[in-house]
Amino acid sequence: MKIYLATRNAHKIAEITAALPDQVQFLSLDDIPCTDELPETGDTIPANSLQKAQYIWDNYRVACLSDDSGLEIEALGGKPGVHSAHYAGTRDFDKNMAAVLQEIPEGASRRAIFKTVMTLIIAGEVHQFEGTVAGEILPAKRGTQGFGYDPIFLPDGHEKTFAEMTTTEKNAISHRNRALQKLIAFLRTNTI
């Protein structure tokens, strides 16, 4: 089975393809070829994930998998959430992290949840899989691995931020991996 990944983010592609069964061949948008900018105008993470997959299905009629992720911080009322990738008005995650750290009020809860929602469309049928991991936002960055908000996110029960973990360590507990495990279980029982 061939499934097209509705992303150009090399980090996401690597994490997803490393975890999924060999019986599924994952292709990129370049293999369609699709050079369009995928829409992301939903007001929730699940809506954005669905919107991207639906665009690929509607325009190319191929099985596709999209995901959308966000960091939801308790003290910020769930922000940056669906706007995580461009929270400071740019896709520069150093600026996004700085904005988040500046906005958390002193003494406020630093509890946060990383959330991923994956949307799979096969033969027009939509399936969504959610994964979350809870933790806290550190007052300063630690580590150089990963991407996004990884340097300021310390998952519960761990002493390393996502950015201090190896890819293998992060993938074992990440929100994306938790959604992936649900997707893998679905693929094994329904399509492979």
* Alpha helix (H) residue ranges in the chain: 10-19, 45-60, 93-103, 167-173, 175-190
Q: Is 68 a catalytic residue?
A: yes
Catalytic pick from 31, 68, 92, 150? 68
Q: How far, in Å, CA of 1 to CA of 65, rounded?
A: 13
User: Structure tokens of 39?
Assistant: 């829409």
Q: How far, in Å, CA of 145 to CA of 174, rounded?
A: 14
Closest by Cα among 168, 167, 137, 171 to 155? 137
> Helices (H) and strands (E) in the chain — how many of each?
5, 6
Q: How far, in Å, CA of 48 to CA of 87, rounded?
A: 15
Q: Which long-range contacts (CB under 8 A, 24 or more apart) does 138-143 make?
A: 138/110, 139/101, 139/110, 140/101, 141/97
Kindly list the catalytic residues: 68
